[in-house]
Copies of this chain bind each other. A is one copy, B any other.
Amino acid sequence: MADTKRSGCPINLTLEVVGDKWSLLVIRDMMFGNRRHFRELLTKSDEGISSNILADRLKTLLGAGVITRDDDPSHKQKGIYSLTEQGVELLPILAQMAGWGYKYLPVSEELGIRARLLKEGGPKMWAEFMDELRETHLGVKRRKKAGPSAGERLQAAYECVIAKK
């Protein structure tokens, strides 16, 4: 996974880390679905990743410094996967992808609502959500703001659409 490097182009190098059909979905589930354990990532995703692929991607992302793994004190076998700062900063890429997909592809209503809010919120909202991720995944304290956080707004909107069905 390291001896590739087809070129020193930043876009190419980024693609060599997350340029496959699964890595960014794993990151997405960690960010928006707050999946932190292997089983959660394996079973609670809409796409149904295989366990061997998931294991492989988690290894690759660990090696690339995008996520970390810690033991879960509540269960000797469980591991807790967390985003690093480098991982948190993948959010703008995901947000742009979500916006593009929302605009041009047959997105389902319940899964598109987050994309719409992220697009409307713009980079300011992304920054707020990234701060929230830093708190959740890196333990970085942050100043509480009034009203619901970016993550809470996304989650609330999602549940609202689900409830209407």
Q: A15-B24, A98-B14 are in contact. Are A9 and B103 (CB under 8 A)?
A: no
Picked from B9, B20, B89, the residue with its CB within 8 Å of the CB of A19 is B20
Q: A19-B20, A19-B21, A47-B7 are in contact. Are A13 and B105 (CB under 8 A)?
A: yes
- A10 within 8 Å of B (CB atoms): yes
Chain B residues near A86 (CB, 8 Å)?
Answer: 104
- A11 within 8 Å of B (CB atoms): yes
Judging by beta carbons under 8 Å apart, are B10 and A112 in contact? yes
Judging by beta carbons under 8 Å apart, are B47 and A11 in contact? no
Do most interface residues of chain A lie in helix, strand or loop, or is the interface mixed? helix
Chain B residues near A63 (CB, 8 Å)?
Answer: none
Contacting residues of chain A (100-116) with chain B, CB-CB under 8 angstroms: 100-108, 110-112, 115
Besides A6-B47, A90-B100, 5 other CB < 8 A contacts? A8-B107, A11-B28, A11-B101, A12-B46, A14-B100
A interface residues with partner B (beta carbon < 8 Å): 5-17, 19-21, 24-25, 28, 46-48, 65, 86, 89-90, 92-94, 96-108, 110-112, 115, 123
Ranked nearest first, the 6 interchain pairs of A and B with the lowest CB-CB distance are A8-B108, A10-B101, A7-B46, A14-B101, A13-B105, A6-B47
